[in-house]
Amino acid sequence: MARWEPNTPDRLAQAALTLFTERGYDATTVNDIAELAGLTKSTFFRHCNDKRQVLFLGQDDMTARLAEAVRATPPEIPPAGILAALLDAVGAFFPQEYRSISATRATVIAAHAELRERELLKSADLASAIENAAREQGRGEIAARFLAAVGLLALNATYQRWIADPDGRSFSDHAAETLGEVIAQAGELPGERKA
C-alpha cells in the first residue's frame, strides 16, 4: 500500500458512515473502517484518535473558516452582517452533492450517545471560535457571546433545514431564509427599558 493515500479523511468518513448505517456504531471497529476505506489501521490513527472522531474530520477547517469570516468582517458591520458571513463561510462545506450524505450522518449521530456528545463538543468549539474572533475584533463581551450563540443557532437551523428539505433547495437558500428569520426575531426584542 502506498504511503500517501489521496482523500484519506473523506474515505475514512464515508467508510465509517456506511458501516455505522449498516452494522451500527457499536458493532463497527476501527479495523472495519480502515479495511473498507482500503487503508491500514495505522493510517486511521494518523487521522483520528478513535472511531467517534471519524465523522468530524472537517471540524478544524470549519472552525478556522468561521473565525476567519468574523475577522474579515469590518468591526463597524452590525451583527446581521457577521451572521451572513458565517453562513456564507460554512456553506462551502455543504455543496448540494453532500446533502444525502449529510442527512445520513445526522441520523447516525442522533442515534448514538457517544456521537451526540462529540457533536456537542464540536458545537462548543465552533461557538468559542466565533466568540474569540469577535473579541479579537474589539467587540465587547456581550456582543461576542451574542454572535457566538446566535451564529450557532443560525448555522444549526440552516443545516437541519437543508438536510430535511424535500425540495432539495441549496444550503445558501436556507441560509438566506434563516438569516431573515433571525433578523426578524431580533427586531421583535423590546426596545430600551424605562427606569
- Domain assignment of residue 117, given as a range: 58-187
Q: What's the pLDDT tens digit per position in 25-36?
A: 999 999 999 999
Q: What's the pLDDT tens digit per position in 141-152?
A: 999 999 999 999
153 and 112 co-located in one domain: yes
Q: What's the pLDDT tens digit per position in 4-21?
A: 456 899 999 999 999 999
Helix axes 113-136, 59-71, angle to 10 degrees: 20
All residue ranges of the chain with pLDDT < 70 are 1-6, 189-195
16 and 110 co-located in one domain: no
97 and 47 co-located in one domain: no
66 and 124 co-located in one domain: yes
142 and 171 co-located in one domain: yes
Q: Round to whole Å and give the CA distance between 26 and 37.
A: 18
Report the number of distinct structural domains present in the chain: 2
| Percent of the chain predicted with pLDDT > 90 | 86
H helix intervals, 25-166: 30-37, 41-47, 59-71, 79-91, 99-110, 113-136, 141-164
Cα atoms in the Cβ-side hemisphere of radius 13 Å centred on 115: 20
pTM exceeding 0.85: yes
